[in-house]
Amino acid sequence: MFKTVQEAAALASGIKEGLKKTGLPDCPEHEVVLAPNFVCLAAVSGIIKGSPLVLAAQNLYWEKEGAFTGEVSAGMLKSAGCAYVIIGHSERRLYFNETDEQLNKKIKAALSAGLKVIFCVGETGKERKENRTFPVVERQVTQGLNGIAETALASLVIAYEPVWAIGTGINATPEQAQEVHAYIRSLIERLFSRRVAEGVTIQYGGSVNPANSEALMAQKDIDGALVGGASLKAESFLEIIQKGLQ
């Protein structure tokens, strides 16, 4: 929950201009996705049109329309220019008590509307201390993807973001992150197929910054980063992007 419309427009413009120096347009296997708050979507969409940047929303509701004041549907996001939507962010799970069942409905609604999904999973600090990281992540992935067709996984990114690393400045070590990413990939193979598991994009999120992003993204099963605070300044976000292209 950052940035007014004017501030978000300025940030998007700065990222757009800075991307010209990174070589991203020549790297079709990479994507840079911006996920501003709802009121900034239209403004940012207009600024990044025609650039390599892609627009995402931070959340949605699973119904198409109706008496759900304050909620936003997948179709509304599409009309605002979104290609992606983030579902199940740790803050949504933690502060708004979103359940695995609700997130499953959101994923299905997004995919049905033609949106790509960034699906977030991750354990709390207490769960990690109790050695419950793998069971928690397995439950979140299994229940979140319940009833999702194997073909739909091509439109889904999984983001591992341990709750204890969100906004704390404490990130998982590259080795800790790689261990969970490898587990998620093996879980996807078990639930779907080896082909799907090898092709699915799994990102790390949780206090990613220019100082740690290169070591994190060098890990075998870490395919990218879900960046929070470091994306609020064009300079730091562009540095992370540049390191991700190396």
What pLDDT digit, counting tens, does each position of 118-177 carry? 999 999 999 999 999 999 999 999 999 999 999 999 999 999 999 988 777 777 899 999
Catalytic residue check, 179: no
* Residue 117 near residue 87 (C-beta atoms within 8 A): yes
* 98 carries an active-site annotation: no
Of 89, 98, 123, 181, the catalytic one is 89
Locate the domains of the chain by residue range. Answer: 5-244
Give tens-digit pLDDT for 67-121: 999 999 999 999 999 999 999 999 999 999 999 999 999 999 999 999 999 999 9
Catalytic site residue from 127, 161, 181, 239: 161
- Per-residue H/E/C for 33-54: EECCCHHHHHHHHHHHCCCCEE
For the domain spanning 5-244, the CATH number is 3.20.20.70
Residue 184 CB burial class (10 angstroms; 0-12, 13-18, ≥19): buried
What is the C-alpha separation between 139 and 161, in angstroms, rounded?
Answer: 15
Global pTM reads 0.96
